[in-house]
Amino acid sequence: MKRLPWFVLIIWFLLAACGESSDPACPDPDTDIILPQDESPHRTNMEWWYYTGHLWTRAGDRYGFELTIFQTFAGVGGDRQVGYVGHFAISDPQKKDHVYDQKIIAPPDVYDSFNLHVEDWIIRGNGNQDRLIADMDGFAIDLTCTPQKPVSFNGQRGVIDMGSGLTSFYYSKTRMEVTGTLTVGGTEEEVTGIAWSDHQWGDFDVFGSNGWDWFSLQLDDNTELMIFLLHYLDGTTVLTGGTFVDADGCYSHFTDHQIAALGSWESPHTGGVYPLGWDLTVPDHDLDINLMPVFDDQELNCCSTTLNTYWEGEVEVTGTVGGIGYVELAGYGPWKDGC
């Protein structure tokens, strides 16, 4: 039998070694969520598409952004009318400035695809990339978000507890590469960045709880972490979602964690008192980290559209690994009847 040349054998050996050292594919997700079909709106009581992220200009300045569209129904049975709400915010750590706006519309029916509009604010996707467009006085974004990892399904099979015995379907795109433009003070600049996307829907009542604490962290070792702490009406708090995504994009769930607030901030706008700054430990993933807001005043008063106020802001991560993230705190300020 003819022998292969020595250099061919070496190349063959190296290719085989590379193949053996590569990480196995992630297990198939166990969920009833079907994508991309379930990106589109559902005829449920509540649904939202949530994007938060961090943008860098060519000069190196960083900005945070939030763009969210909510879908909800008012009334019961055949008398239900659909409504869409948009929230848009920009955080400027350089100036410690947080600017936001909100809009509400009532179209004749539910949108029939993942192409959502609240006036001229847009969230849409094609299964491969998502597009975000929004503007307010002096500020605007036009961003393309491309997932760098597979979708993660949170909770039990992509379902989490939302209080009062009701649940929500819930998946995340935990690391999205962002390109596009950001307008600040009327000046448009090219930006790049990183974003996180959440999509939740179900026949639940937002006010079936006393609010929640939500943490989304994108860490420097190319891993991500999500924690959803729900405040029950009886005053107790439970972890209804803890998801870790490894560097290869495989997600897993955890329950063992310790989190402690380091301080608080009282809003001069609404009187709400929010915990700010946290020590967080997740033993399963050897995480012992500190989360600090880039500045305190990142509250949105949305009583006129969603009957609540909430804090939604950028945080920086230090400890066993560094990183960046967003935190949402709901139920600490005016909430439902308190609005």
pLDDT of 118-134, one tens digit each? 999 999 999 999 999 99
Is residue 248 one of the residues assigned to a domain? yes
Bigger pLDDT: 14 vs 88: 88
Is the bond preceding 29 in cis, omega lying within 30 degrees of 0? no
Nearest by Cα to 210 from 339, 46, 335 = 335
Is residue 226 one of the residues assigned to a domain? yes
pLDDT (0 to 100) of residue 25: 84
Is residue 14 one of the residues assigned to a domain? no
* Residue 281 half-sphere exposure toward CB, CA atoms < 13 A: 4
Expressed as residue numbers, the domain containing 165 is 33-338
pLDDT (0 to 100) of residue 6: 38
Average pLDDT estimate for 287-302: 98
End-to-end CA distance of the chain: 85
Query: Has residue 212 got a pLDDT over 60?
Result: yes
Query: Has residue 252 got a pLDDT over 50?
Result: yes
Residue 24 pLDDT class (50, 70, 90 cuts): low
CA distance 138 to 131: 20
Is residue 5 one of the residues assigned to a domain? no
Structural domains of the chain, count: 1
CA distance 301 to 133: 22
User: For 34-38, 77-81, 192-196, 234-238, which range has the lowest pLDDT when averaged over its residues?
Assistant: 77-81
Query: Has residue 282 got a pLDDT over 80?
Result: yes
Please report, for the domain that includes residue 205, its CATH number.
Answer: 2.40.370.10
Residue 76 pLDDT class (50, 70, 90 cuts): low
Nearest by Cα to 170 from 256, 93, 242 = 242
Query: Has residue 19 got a pLDDT over 90?
Result: no
Main-chain phi, psi angles of 221, to 5 degrees: -90, 20
Is residue 307 one of the residues assigned to a domain? yes
Is residue 109 one of the residues assigned to a domain? yes
pLDDT, tens digit, for every residue of 53-63? 999 999 999 99
Beta strands at 251-253 and 224-231: parallel, antiparallel or unpaired:
unpaired
Residue 1 pLDDT class (50, 70, 90 cuts): very low
CA distance 221 to 246: 9
Q: Please state, rounded to an integer, the average pLDDT across all residues of the chain.
A: 92
Average pLDDT estimate for 271-285: 98
Whether residue 312 contacts residue 52, with contact meaning beta carbons closer than 8 Å, is answered with yes
Is residue 276 one of the residues assigned to a domain? yes
Is residue 165 one of the residues assigned to a domain? yes
